[in-house]
Amino acid sequence: MSSAKNININLKIWRQKNAQAKGSMETYKLDNVSTASSFLEMLDQLNEQLINDKKSPVAFDHDCREGICGMCSLYINGRAHGPETGTTTCQLHMRKFKDGDTIYIEPFRSKAFPVVKDLVVDRSSFDRIQQAGGFVSVNTSGRTIDANATPIPKHDADRAFEAAACIGCGACVATCKNGSAMLFVGAKVSQYALLPQGKVEATQRVLNMVRQMDEEGFGNCTNTGACEVECPKGISLENIARMNREYLAASLK
Amino acid sequence: MKLDSKIPAGPISDKWTDYKDHLKLVAPNNRPKIDIIVVGTGLAGASAAASLGEMGYNVKAFCFQDSPRRAHSIAAQGGINAAKNYQNDGDSTYRLFYDTIKGGDYRAREANVHRLAEVSANIIDQCVAQGVPFARDYGGMLDNRSFGGTQLQRTFYAAGQTGQQLLLGAYSALSRQIGLGRVKMFNRHEMLDLVKVDGKARGIIARNLVTGELERHSAHAVVIATGGYGNVYFLSTNAMGSNVTAGWKIHKKGALFANPCFVQIHPTCIPVHGVNQSKLTLMSESLRNSGRIWVPKRKEDAEAIRAGKLKPTQLSEDDRDYFLERRYPAFGNLVPRDVASRAAKERCDEGFGIEANDTNEGVYLDFSTEIQSKGKQAAYAKGNHNPTPDEITKLGKQWLEEKYGNLFAMYEKITDENPYETPMKIYPAVHYTMGGVWVDYNLQSTIPGCFVAGEANFSDHGANRLGASALMQGLADGYFVLPYTVSNYLADEIRTGKISTDLPEFAEAEKSVKDTIDKFLNNNGTKSVDHFHKRLGLIMWNKVGMARNEKGLTEAISEIAALKEEFYKDVYVPGSSDELNPELEKAMRVADFIDLGQLMAMDALQRNESCGGHFREEYQDSEGETLRDDENFSFVSAWEYMGYDISKEILNKEELKYEFIKIAARNYK
């Protein structure tokens, strides 16, 4: 990566000791950040500096750093996962920033995602929605029918895959002015609705998942479309429309 | 210690069926009286927890991430093998079995591998039934592709996100059981010790990573499915949190650790960018279906490329050395990973590397040939029998995007270069660990009641794993092996009753964890955990990496032992124990990596042969290929913990017997 150079940046980062504490923005200066570094490597570098100064490092969620596990989050300069469209925070690189920039970093904020510490939030509400119906009720015996016994039109399989590509990061919720989880839930409902294996339980699934979504305190969808824009995996609004159709059909049954 | 692998007698193709038919069962009415702990929620852990929950046992599942869906199985890209023979190219259970044994360079157990091949087809059926959206062709049938070390197409895939789709399938099965109340899930919890009572695994000590509270959990059996230990090298394709701690804790409590030196270094990863690099990113092996690996034929050209004076696209075909196609014409770019990695290293060591980083380590993975051939095919399919070069290129790029779009996009984000226009730069990186906790045929460790599944055990891949076989093994262990073998063990536990966490063994284990935590937090050293982890990683990469020799390994052993002393004396861990404290979590994991690193070097030093991913420079033929020593090293090395000083560990051996496959030199030429 011969084009890499070093830049100096200013950081304004949300610090909050725990869920109960009142948080605030703190200012840090970080020099010699390689533009080939990822955004999270920049935060590693900040933490190394803080640790060497015997100060408390910044807590943030991350794991795979390949844009697939969905654990990283962060609101960067007012956008979920930062300035680059279709990119998780871990895949954002410092070459997208300039020398002397001031970067604002906040946690994903939403009623259903309480802050745990600093930039770490609790997204277990997503797990509970999945537990309410995000599955096909088939036991894991391996004694099902042959995988090719039911042909699935390529178009449907591809649409199901696109919906299933959701990484469950919660950017859709964080960016929505209503704190709605419709894109996340719509993607899961759509994946199963598009496949023959998912059709048997379709009615119960959509009713149960939507009920759980409402119980968790997520807001309603007002078709702003911000979720689709900020989704790092390009999950389409069509999934919300499909869920609404499924929900309507289920409610009328 | 006498090792009993418990391999059943009989012909290879009947062993598992016969054995399974005679295992003991636990009746449905007794299962709710029995508790099982599953640590880790990747493919092996999630599938085991879901299956055991379905059966009616009380399952407690643990993961350190904020959700079970984050486990690093999710990052597997290319695919999953299964002997379905949907492509009618001659596949069978036997061929998958044979390819896996050969790919592992004859250092895996025949019986385990055959079982894996047998259940592989059920995995695909199961996943499709769960709604896993595999790639399909226009007839609606499942599509396949090739992976390294095979000459047929048996790999099922979902774009470059197969691991994600399979894990989300297992997660959905797990979620169903959590919703039904049969599995209790503990997110953001880390297992920090195993509790043994009367010699049996009876529970764990886990730390709630949010509150810092230490918790005691009891059970009649404990399943460890916590993945591999590639992060011992600091830089690897593993997730940042991937660690060996659960495996190492049970090792310290009596579970033998097998073949620690068998590490897979994956040929196609994005090269290192600089000192602040935190991890390496894989570019799927599936890309070797379409990409050709090369370096310049002339050193001057390599130098000019590194200096930015020459572009790879400017080099003519005659000036390129497609070194895998040259050395291994029968398998070409699809040789197994260990072979491809060493070949890339050989070229770079000779000065042909093309990356302008500190070490010049990098080779090209080039898609231009495929763009032309697939573009032409696509044009013909559209009825255009006389396409212009521009049309061909455009259609070829579209074809690549459909197959590998997410990988190409990821490459561009990381490197700022467009792989549709210029070849990818790649170099080997640590990816997978074949070694792991020693288990018998039941996947039980040497501690009764403590089972180990998936990458965390050593059992199926010998000295080198074939691509698309990790997903297969994880799900096979969790869905189709453990439900039988764990039940067999638990059949003798139906009268035991609930195990109290007030037993002195729990108190003792909890106290020892607490002491370790306090020691770190009060250490008042001067250097960060990462400082030590990076130093360990450098020793490992340079001396216990792709090429090893006696001198380097001997040095590594003493350097790591010294690093351990320095670590405990001088590591600085900020914060307190009663809060979310990622530095504390890292400190405890790195402590275990240091111990394991030393053991890996010891294991590599005793294995005076080259096999699979373990390449000892002293043991190679005149063409640089590995020289195995079957007479003296056809065994699993199984190490026994003897206390703080790792150099005191005792080597136990399990002889490997090949009754059904004729052992031969591995040849991909």
Q: CB contacts < 8 Å between A and B, how many? A: 237
Mean pLDDT, chain B, integer: 96
What does each C-alpha distance from B619 to A40, A68, B24 come to in angstroms? Answer: 42, 40, 46
Q: Which has more confidence, A97 or A4?
A: A97
H/E element, B494: none
Given pLDDT bands bounded at 50, 70 and 90, which one contains residue B618?
Answer: very high
* pLDDT exceeds cutoff 80 at A3: no
Can you tell me the distance from the alpha carbon of B368 to that of B600, in angstroms, rounded to the nearest whole number? 40
Q: Are A53 and B528 in contact (CB under 8 A)?
A: no
Can you tell me the distance from the alpha carbon of A135 to that of A205, in angstroms, rounded to the nearest whole number? 8
* Residue tagged 């087809």 (tokens): B121
Superfamily grouping for domain A123-252: Alpha-helical ferredoxin (1.10.1060.10)
* pLDDT exceeds cutoff 70 at B591: yes
**CB count in 10 Å sphere of residue B349:** 14
Can you tell me the distance from the alpha carbon of A126 to that of B528, in angstroms, rounded to the nearest whole number? 34
Q: What is the dihedral of CA A234, A237, A238, A242, to 10 degrees?
A: 120
Closest CA to A38 of B415, B331, B26: B415
* pLDDT exceeds cutoff 90 at A197: yes
What is the architecture of the domain spanning B505-629? Up-down Bundle (1.20)
Q: Which amino acid is at B635?
A: F
In chain B, what are the domain boundaries? 267-429, 505-629
Residue B358's pLDDT is 84
pLDDT in tens, B48-96: 999 999 999 999 999 999 999 999 999 999 899 999 999 999 999 999 9
Closest CA to B499 of B190, B222, B134: B222
Chain B CB within 8 Å of residue A31 CB: no
Contacts of A65 in chain B (CB under 8 A): 239-240, 278-279, 281
Residue B406's pLDDT is 86
* pLDDT exceeds cutoff 70 at A215: yes
Q: Tokens at residue B49, please?
A: 């927890």
Can you tell me the distance from the alpha carbon of B150 to that of B662, in angstroms, rounded to the nearest whole number? 18
Residues 132-171 of A with CB under 8 A from B: 132-148, 150-154, 157-158, 160-161, 164-165, 167-168
CA of A151 vs chain B CAs: smallest distance (Å): 5
Which residues of B are marked as active site? 337
Closest CA to A233 of B164, B422, B136: B164
Q: Tokens at residue B204, please?
A: 């764990």
Chain A CB within 8 Å of residue B507 CB: no
SS (H, E, C) B406-442: HHHHHHHHHHCCCCCCCCEEEEEEEEEECCEECCCCC
Can you tell me the distance from the alpha carbon of B85 to that of B90, in angstroms, rounded to the nearest whole number? 7
3-class secondary-structure state, position A35:
coil
Chain B CB within 8 Å of residue A67 CB: yes
Work out the percent of chain B whose per-residue pLDDT is above 90: 95
In DSSP terms, B37 is beta-bridged to B60, B222
Q: Tokens at residue A122, please?
A: 């609790």
pLDDT in tens, B366-402: 999 999 999 999 999 999 999 999 999 999 999 999 8
pLDDT in tens, B277-309: 999 999 999 899 999 999 999 999 999 999 999
Give mean pLDDT, residues B645-658: 97
Residue B421's pLDDT is 96
* pLDDT exceeds cutoff 60 at A2: no
Mean pLDDT, chain A, integer: 97
pLDDT in tens, B515-530: 999 999 999 899 999 9
- What is the ipTM score, two decimals? 0.98
- Find the CB nearest B410 among A59, A91, A157: A91
Can you tell me the distance from the alpha carbon of B242 to that of B222, in angstroms, rounded to the nearest whole number? 19
Can you tell me the distance from the alpha carbon of B626 to that of B612, in angstroms, rounded to the nearest whole number? 8
Residue B377's pLDDT is 96
Return the residue of B nearest to A113 by Cα: B66
Residue A243's pLDDT is 98
Tell me the whole-structure pTM to 2 decimals. Answer: 0.97
3-class secondary-structure state, position B476:
helix
pLDDT in tens, A59-111: 999 999 999 999 999 999 999 999 999 999 999 999 999 999 999 999 999 99
Give mean pLDDT, residues B652-664: 95
Chain A CB within 8 Å of residue B342 CB: no
pLDDT in tens, B401-423: 988 988 999 999 999 999 999 99
In B3-112, where do the E strands start and end?
Answer: 35-39, 58-62, 80-81
* Residue tagged 């070797």 (tokens): B288
Q: Are B482 and B453 in contact (CB under 8 A)?
A: yes
In chain A, what are the domain boundaries? 6-116, 123-252
**CB count in 10 Å sphere of residue B24:** 11
Can you tell me the distance from the alpha carbon of A23 to that of A13, in angstroms, rounded to the nearest whole number? 10
Can you tell me the distance from the alpha carbon of B543 to that of A105, in angstroms, rounded to the nearest whole number? 40
Q: Are B286 and B406 in contact (CB under 8 A)?
A: no
Domain A6-116 grouped into CATH 3.10.20.30: yes
Residue B288's pLDDT is 93
pLDDT in tens, B23-51: 999 999 999 999 999 999 999 999 999 99
What does each C-alpha distance from B138 to A154, B85, B141, B232 come to in angstroms? Answer: 5, 18, 7, 44
- Find the CB nearest B276 among A37, A124, A150: A37
Residue B357's pLDDT is 86
Q: Tokens at residue B29, please?
A: 């009415």
Residue B345: phi, psi to the nearest 5?
A: -65, -40
* Residue tagged 């009367």 (tokens): B198
Q: Are B500 and B535 in contact (CB under 8 A)?
A: no
Given pLDDT bands bounded at 50, 70 and 90, which one contains residue B1?
Answer: confident
Q: Are A15 and A23 in contact (CB under 8 A)?
A: yes
Given pLDDT bands bounded at 50, 70 and 90, which one contains residue B444?
Answer: very high
pLDDT in tens, B639-648: 999 999 999 9
Residue A1's pLDDT is 45
pLDDT in tens, B322-358: 999 999 999 999 999 999 999 999 999 999 999 998 8
Domain B267-429 grouped into CATH 3.90.700.10: yes
Give mean pLDDT, residues B644-660: 97
Give mean pLDDT, residues B4-15: 97
Chain B CB within 8 Å of residue A112 CB: no
Q: Are B474 and B73 in contact (CB under 8 A)?
A: yes
* pLDDT exceeds cutoff 60 at B197: yes
H-helix segments, B491-581: 504-521, 529-543, 550-570
